[in-house]
Structure 1
Amino acid sequence: MWDPNKYLAFADHRGRPFYELLSRVDARSPRRVVDLGCGPGNLTVSLAERWPDAVLEASDSSPEMVEAARERGLDASRQDVRDWTPEPDTDVVVSNAALQWVPEHRELLRRWPTQLPSGAWIAVQVPGNFDAPSHTIVRALASSDRWSRLLPDVPFRESKVVDDPTDYAGLLADAGCAVDAWETTYVQQLTGENPVLEWITGTALRPVKDALAAPEWDRFRDELVPLLDAAYPRRPDGSTFFPFRRIFVVAQVQ
């Protein structure tokens, strides 16, 4: 289950890549704009503001996220991105921090250009930090003798969950698109108690939380605290620097 409130705790940090992604989409008067993996809809609403004459289509696989998006006035639907097929008038497809959850996303990126009209835009952003301490520490703790028996089936994501920008550029160029791909490492300055733990609780730790009963979940978090503190030390001003690599690709169907 997704917790929209936990996800939104770092809304400003999570929103910046979305706006930088969309800044490279030069669609003037799109007929239909689609947000695949719209989450709680806090970023999706900006698509309606940018293109007020377009039909806005939003979907997410999480019922909690869809409910939160609907509370923002969006006509969001629950849908697995793998089942999505573009309507003939789809001119912009956005997927922000969602495709990393879909092992088959490379096939989707090959397929969509064949289904979209000429001139349509595809804009995708995924995190590229699966080898960062925030993820490797969680995987190491979960595989320890103490926790492995309680977490035997949790699908921890390894480094090759996503590809490098060059790989995505090649994939979409081979599919007949003009491509703009890049990566950025944001040094997020986080504040508060255990900020890195709170950050990953809304995303990477979600499968762990789902697999554990409340007392075990609390103990797992408690054991993570000193490990994350060592990897991400607190600065003299009380803040914590959290490097976060993001991968971007914007493609236009030719």
Structure 2
Amino acid sequence: MTPKPTRYHPNIIITGTPGCGKTSLSRNLLQTLPKSDYKHYNISELAKERDCIESYDKERDTGVVDEDKLLDGLENDLRDGGAIVDWHCCDIFPKRLIDLVVVLRTETALLYDRLKERKYSDKKIEENMDCEIMEVILNDANQAYNEEIVITLNSNNDDDMKENQARIEAWIEMWRKDHEEGVTNEISEYYNDSEQEQLSEDGEDGSESKDDDSSEEEGEEEEEEEEEEEEEEEEEEDEEEPAKKKKKV
């Protein structure tokens, strides 16, 4: 199948610590969104279906996913658009193919009870609780993607779930209105667009004023002159008092 160059429906990551309601929210969204346009990708299940589990971590009681193999198979799905990606890990997916990252947060007392109900080991519960308290997944999301597409939503009860679903559906509707001609999937076009946006922020024609350019050049020349003077002084000092050389081990 030929990879699609453009997508007309947004790709959304629903992420967060295990037990925060990612899968429930994803499934609820699929019940109201057009099934022909949107699909739920539960990565934990998908990795098993597509034989992407490379090993098993007995200590953490979890499978270790071959991320390269997973992404090789998932890229065309993301190019189609309309992917609701549900996983606790969010920072491995290509930046150019993701339009919204939803990080779900749950109060620690509630999260503990949910993980206990899943019969997680004490060690596994402790690790996940630490992850939630330290905001590990939120930090990963902000580092991997532009912060303006990363949102945090509380996920403590049914009311939160309904409100989160409504907010995401409203965002999808707005995204589609803003991108009627679609969004590129191609690496070169994506980065060209990003560079053009940055240039437009610097000036209308993508360049700074001549005065700014000349002042920058003058500043650089002054810095070079100062560096040359410092080098000459150092050479004179070296001639007067030769320093002993040491080898780095």
Compare the two structures and name the one with the higher strand fraction.
1
Compare the two structures and name the one with the higher helix fraction.
2
TM-score band (shorter)?
A: 0.3 to 0.5
Using the size of structure 2 for normalisation, the TM-score is 0.33
Task: Report which of the two structures shows the higher radius of gyration computed on alpha carbons.
Answer: 2
